Amino acid sequence: MSRTVNGKMGFSVPLNALRAFEAAARHMSIKEAAFELRLTPSAVSYRLRILENALGRELFLRSRIGSRLELTEAGEALAPALTSGFDRIIDAVRNIQRDKPLTAA
């Protein structure tokens, strides 16, 4: 699905699928990504398939030996941008939590 945001044409992909991909790419492991995200490995795999289908590109080369993952060219292009983006979001949320305590209305 495509949509226009701020005058730019983009594609709508589920944020949870992007998060699952970022964790799996960082760990190079679906099992470790699942542990971090508090999901089952099958739930992470499902989200990865959703993302790959939405993008029309494979992001991982899955090894037949064990659970070893390898990024495709598309995965290598996407992973650092997502890691940077999620890091910025986490930093912004932490700054808000630190600077603005919740007060009763």
The domain locations on the chain are 2-99
- Express each pLDDT in 39-73 by its tens digit: 999 999 999 999 999 999 999 997 655 567 899 99
Per-residue pLDDT reduced to its tens digit, 80-99: 999 999 999 999 999 998 88
Q: What is the CATH number of domain 2-99?
A: 1.10.10.10
Determine contact, residues 56/73, Cβ cutoff 8 Å. no
Please give the structure tokens belonging to residue 12. Answer: 């709508």
- The pLDDT of residue 62 is 75
Those residues whose C-beta lies under 8 Å from the C-beta of residue 78, and which sit 6 or more positions away, are: 21, 25, 59
- Identify the pLDDT of residue 5: 54
Q: What φ, ψ does residue 60 adopt, rounded to 5°?
A: -130, 145
